[in-house]
With several copies, the nearest count.
Chain A
Amino acid sequence: MVDKKDYQNTEEIAWCPGCGNFAIRLALQEALAELNLEPHQVVIASGIGQAAKAPHYLRINGFNGLHGRAIPVGTSLASIRKDLKVIVESGDGDIYGEGGNHFLHAFRRNPDMALFVHNNQVYGLTKGQASPTSEIGMKTGVQVKGVTNLPLNPLLIALVSGASFVARSFAGDKKHLKTMMQKAIEHKGLAYLDILQPCVTFNKINTFKWYKERVYHLEDDHNPENWEMAVEKAREWGEKIPTGVFYQKERRVFAEDFPELSREEIFDPRERVYCWPELLENYK
């Protein structure tokens, strides 16, 4: 049995005390251990931001790449290394802002990986500018008169782009979060989980309290195979904010015809030379 301590490392954590990220980290650690996955079997691909520091705070394989570019890294990795569990984990600015194009196209491909977005509705690491999910009116050092651009509804984008798994959870609801993570990791295809994550330093609107007052679990009568229902629920925001699996329906996974490469095949790609003579024939 894998223990969550197996995921523990000794790095000093650079998040602010009280930040929602801590609970997310713990939930992930537990989720993985309970799924009996060992650290070497899992990779986290992340971008840049507070959330994106995640792979440093666990003992786990990690590709901490560029701001906004975790999805392409995860996509190829999940497809070429079918033996690994790939998790893309980053912030809302990273995935929906800088990385928006990859977010949009990821669902079309449906690679077999999980996508966890720490959605604190703000740019944390760069000190509090609006993110694509910041609410209208939120004032920041850049949005001095308040945000005017309509916030993105990333769940809807996912749903209309052909997502095979769309879920939301909340950092203040750790048990639920852990379950959602597990479902996402077990899903075959791109499993997208938006995580409401209070930023205690810069987001004075969407606080723990604010979320707590609004968040509820999707009822048992919510049918995650019903796309229209999922859309309806995904449009709900404000007084009440649903969490849970909005939608799940398996479909063709990216590169599913591509074979699982063995460690030997990866290490020594030589065995594939057999058809060279045939190929050379084309050139005479």
Chain B
Amino acid sequence: MFNIRIGGEAGQGMNTIGTLLAKSLLRMGYHVFTSKDYMSRIRGGHNFSDIRFGSKPLQSGTEKVDILLALNKETWEIHKNSMTESGLLVYDPDDFSPEGDGPEKAGFPFLKKAEEIGDKRIAGVIALGLIHRIFDLSPDHLKKILSEKFSGEILEKNIKGLDLGYQEGEEKFSIKPNPDLKGTKLISGNDAIGFGALVAGVQFYSAYPMTPSTGVLNFLSAQGEKFKILVEQAEDEIAAINMALGASYGGVRAMTGTSGGGFSLMVEGLGLSGITETPLVILNGQRPGPATGLPTRTEQGDLEFVIHASQGEFPRIVLAPRDVFNAFSQTVRAFNLAEKYQLPVIILSDQFLGDSEQTISDFKPEDFKIDRGKLLKDYKEEKPYLRYRYTEDGISPRLIPGAKDQVVLVDSDEHNEAGNIIEDAETRTKMVEKRMKRMEKITEEMEPPLYKGPKPEKVELILVSWGSNFGPVEEARIGLEEEGIKVGHYSFVDIWPLPRGDWEKTLKEKEWALIENNFSGQLGSLLQKREIGYPEFFLKKYDGRPFTGDEIKRRIKEEVANRG
């Protein structure tokens, strides 16, 4: 397992270099995990990308850097203390000279050499050549990748640069690829969510740009034509959610996506989905708040907000995907749940998950089923169609408007079975009960947290996480196990309504630690309502950065040691 960090100013092309490297590693048969740390600006400042790779699955970033490709001095200053003992700094001596001791250093005049070859933009590729050599990796895959991207003279220059870097490098590390990795893909959380929507058959997506959810908007825009999806950038988030609801009423699968600030503006629309029983999938890619907060950073600060958002009471479902593949499959599921129960389903992601890339195994999109619930294409019964017909389970058949001789009326006021406004106490009571009734069945359908680790009886402590913290916590758990410290791990994805299950009893009996990327412990607060009680230890982080596996491992180790 190695971690390569590429750092510099915004605009220096770190993303391109990182992507090329990651793809090359992927094709050679490594597991890859990449993550991004960037500022809310377009040029300047300090950004960096981490590319971790190894022969075992990777689920998190790390605090440690094996190779630092520093595109400027600031990068060196900021990250030098994160380097491992055997770490290596790769830099351009024309940029800066790294003073003092510290890790081994490999200076090479990338820019000068690139200019010699005739295009300064290939400086990065030269560095990649060097890095391939350092890990004793063949540059052939990278050549192939370059040839898929470029052609003619530009391609030639790139290959030349790559070869040059490769020649100049020196082997230092070595790691075997995993021969089983066939057909794996490297994909970001945001793309996975977009992909999930495609597979679910989304036909309408409206959004207003907002970091870190814009990736999904970009993904679907790019695929819109091929997949017959109408994608529209709305004038504001209020329009975005109301457009999506209009489309859903029209019968197609519709989705909207945003981050906390935009979600705030969608709150009234969320309730509209609730009372009209119009299915809707809403992505909230969390970033640190309140208000504008830290636009390009990560946090899990919106859980209780999205659970309780909007006036009045109505059922909703909140799913917090645990990793990249899960982001894909939960998105497909979100559409199915939204239509099965005719309500809003919120996918609670975050910048860490959205912007990280992870290797996923091969899969067939068509294996993921579409379930449109009680949707009717036509209606030919004697009695006129009633949108809110009372039923056993509280779910009324939903007719696509336009069916011959039938009308479909939905209403944001309290209404009767036909959808017409009412004010009487009796109908109101019945309609509230009709809507709320679905909660029971939904609660049954919610999956209990995934348990990882030795049997609960055998562990010292159970780590409890939700959403994207899964990866870092898992890395920590496995690391601890390797050191002989046995801990378990409950990872929540289905978070509202909170599922029932054995986990409740287990947590009541065992000591447990709560790990959340926020200040107040919002999952903890949900657990308290279930009378699970308070955790023995609350590991929280609210500086806008994701946890890393090693960080959690260290903190839990300390905790376990302290508690004797």
Also in contact, A126 and B375, with CB within 8 A (given A66-B291, A261-B252): no
Which chain A residues border B214 with CB–CB below 8 Å? 126-127, 129
In the bound complex, what is the Cα–Cα distance between A259 and B230 (angstroms)?
Answer: 9
In the bound complex, what is the Cα–Cα distance between A71 and B272 (angstroms)?
Answer: 15
Task: Name the contact of A76 in the complex, choosing from B230, B233, B406 (C-beta under 8 A).
Answer: B230
Also in contact, A64 and B409, with CB within 8 A (given A40-B402, A142-B221): yes
In the bound complex, what is the Cα–Cα distance between A79 and B42 (angstroms)?
Answer: 35
Are B228 and A144 interface neighbours, CB within 8 A?
no
Are A40 and B404 interface neighbours, CB within 8 A?
yes
Which of B79-87, B112-120, B179-187, B541-549 touches A?
B179-187
Are B420 and A142 interface neighbours, CB within 8 A?
no
Task: Name the contact of A84 in the complex, choosing from B195, B231, B401, B419 (C-beta under 8 A).
Answer: B401
Which chain A residues border B411 with CB–CB below 8 Å? 56, 62, 64
Also in contact, A284 and B23, with CB within 8 A (given A65-B412, A276-B366): yes
Are A132 and B235 interface neighbours, CB within 8 A?
yes
Which chain B residues border A125 with CB–CB below 8 Å? 40-42, 295
- Contact residues, B424-468 vs A (CB, 8 A): none
Q: Mark B471-508, 1 if CB is under 8 A from A, else 0.
A: 00000000000000000000000000000000000000
Q: Mark A106-139, 1 if CB is under 8 A from B, else 0.
A: 0000000000000000011111011010000000
CB distance from A253 to the nearest CB of B (A): 13
Which chain B residues border A98 with CB–CB below 8 Å? 208, 235-236
Cβ of B39 under 8 Å from chain A: yes
Which chain A residues border B236 with CB–CB below 8 Å? 68, 97-98, 100-101
Smallest Cβ-Cβ distance to B203: which chain A residue: A269
Smallest Cβ-Cβ distance to A16: which chain B residue: B43
Are A75 and B250 interface neighbours, CB within 8 A?
no
Cβ of B58 under 8 Å from chain A: no
Are B246 and A77 interface neighbours, CB within 8 A?
yes
Cβ of A145 under 8 Å from chain B: yes
Q: Mark B194-228, 1 if CB is under 8 A from A, else 0.
A: 01001101111010111100100110011111111
Also in contact, A100 and B406, with CB within 8 A (given A50-B42, A283-B185): no
Task: Name the contact of A270 in the complex, choosing from B43, B201, B209, B377 (C-beta under 8 A).
Answer: B201
Cβ of B157 under 8 Å from chain A: no
Cβ of B413 under 8 Å from chain A: yes
Are B409 and A61 interface neighbours, CB within 8 A?
yes
Which chain B residues border A48 with CB–CB below 8 Å? 292, 412-413
Cβ of A67 under 8 Å from chain B: yes
Are A66 and B410 interface neighbours, CB within 8 A?
no
Which of B237-245, B298-306, B532-540 touches A?
B237-245
Which chain B residues border A79 with CB–CB below 8 Å? 230
Task: Name the contact of A74 in the complex, choosing from B204, B233, B246, B254 (C-beta under 8 A).
Answer: B246
Which chain A residues border B160 with CB–CB below 8 Å? none
Are B420 and A126 interface neighbours, CB within 8 A?
no
Are B421 and A53 interface neighbours, CB within 8 A?
yes
Task: Name the contact of A40 in the complex, choosing from B185, B238, B406 (C-beta under 8 A).
Answer: B406
CB distance from B383 to the nearest CB of A (A): 14
CB distance from B213 to the nearest CB of A (A): 10
CB distance from A140 to the nearest CB of B (A): 9
Which chain A residues border B401 with CB–CB below 8 Å? 40, 43, 61, 81, 84
Also in contact, A67 and B239, with CB within 8 A (given A141-B221, A267-B251): no
In the bound complex, what is the Cα–Cα distance between A66 and B269 (angstroms)?
Answer: 8
Smallest Cβ-Cβ distance to B218: which chain A residue: A141
How many interface residues does chain B have, given as a range?
35 or more
Number of A-B contacts (CB under 8 A): 256
Which chain B residues border A41 with CB–CB below 8 Å? 402
Cβ of A1 under 8 Å from chain B: no
**Which of A45, A48, A265 has the most chain B CB within a 10 Å cutoff?**
A48
Are B230 and A80 interface neighbours, CB within 8 A?
yes
Cβ of B11 under 8 Å from chain A: yes
In the bound complex, what is the Cα–Cα distance between A213 and B267 (angstroms)?
Answer: 45
CB distance from A279 to the nearest CB of B (A): 7
Q: Mark B34-78, 1 if CB is under 8 A from A, else 0.
A: 000001111111000000000000000000000000000000000
Which chain A residues border B247 with CB–CB below 8 Å? 76-77, 80
CB distance from B511 to the nearest CB of A (A): 41
Cβ of B408 under 8 Å from chain A: yes
Cβ of B253 under 8 Å from chain A: yes
Smallest Cβ-Cβ distance to B247: which chain A residue: A76
In the bound complex, what is the Cα–Cα distance between A72 and B256 (angstroms)?
Answer: 13
Cβ of A251 under 8 Å from chain B: no
CB distance from B208 to the nearest CB of A (A): 7
Smallest Cβ-Cβ distance to A77: which chain B residue: B246
For the complex with contacts A40-B407, A43-B401, A62-B411, 20 further pairs of A-B residues with Cβ separation under 8 Å are A15-B42, A16-B43, A56-B409, A61-B407, A64-B411, A65-B242, A65-B245, A66-B261, A76-B230, A76-B246, A77-B246, A125-B41, A125-B42, A261-B228, A269-B202, A270-B201, A273-B366, A276-B366, A280-B185, A283-B191
Q: Which 4 A-B pairs have the closest CB atoms?
A: A269-B201, A73-B246, A283-B185, A16-B43
* CB-defined A-B contacts under 8 Å, sample of 19: A63-B249, A66-B412, A69-B242, A69-B268, A73-B246, A76-B204, A84-B250, A141-B218, A201-B11, A255-B230, A261-B203, A266-B251, A267-B251, A267-B377, A269-B201, A270-B370, A275-B227, A284-B26, A284-B183
